[in-house]
Chains A and B, each alone.
Chain A
Amino acid sequence: SQTIHQWPATLVQPVGSPLSLECTVEGTSNPNLYWYRQAAGRGLQLLFYSVGIGQISSEVPQNLSASRPQDRQFILSSKKLLLSDSGFYLCAWSRTGRELFFGEGSRLTVL
């Protein structure tokens, strides 16, 4: 069966520190992969979208970046975190957009 794992679940980081959130998918191949952010009281905002290895589309200008080194691995990174990067980050996968599976989420607090 298809599963998606995301870690770490919770992260508290100081301003200016680096970030790495990892997401892996099992049970499918060549999925579309997504990183979303959900700020407190707001809807899901698409950050990055990938249709294949090394193919990343950035939706929102920011100090975050994403990479897809393997077919089923998606990584969200930052070299220097800002206070405004705090939020709940969700990884998701889909084959055609008609089915949709989310990871458990990573709650990031930047102090």
Chain B
Amino acid sequence: KNEVEQSPQNLTAQEGEFITINCSYSVGISALHWLQQHPGGGIVSLFMLSSGKKKHGRLIATINIQEKHSSLHITASHPRDSAVYICAVLPLNTDKLIFGTGTRLQVFP
């Protein structure tokens, strides 16, 4: 079993739909990252969370440390949101991230 599990693996949506991507992990962590990888391959960091909730534009990320779970929400989805979304956790007492395998999102007009 992977230490970081994401669901779903693949997701298709119509433009305007509300989208949720989930991440569960099995280790104690000091931080969790949500990353976005576009078809060209480049990766950008969307959020870094250690507790609570963060919002940036149409993106919202939440984390529940007790339940070892995080969600990434996209409101009013748009075709340009199509990408692979990756959850990565930073276990306690280490600088080495553990990555989920990603969720491939396709948003159709």
A→B interface (CB under 8 Å): 32, 38, 42-44, 46, 49, 51, 59, 88, 90, 92, 94, 96-102, 104-105, 107
Inter-subunit contact B101/A42 (CB<8 Å): yes
Chain A residues, Cβ within 8 Å of B14: none
Chain B residues, Cβ within 8 Å of A102: 35, 42-45
- A selection of 10 A-B contacts at a CB cut-off of 8 Å is A38-B41, A43-B100, A44-B86, A46-B97, A92-B43, A97-B94, A97-B97, A99-B45, A101-B45, A105-B40
Find the B residue at minimum CB distance from A96: B95
Inter-subunit contact A98/B30 (CB<8 Å): yes
Contact of B96 among A49, A99, A104 (CB under 8 A): A49
B52-109 at interface with A (beta carbon < 8 Å): 86, 88, 90, 94-97, 99-102
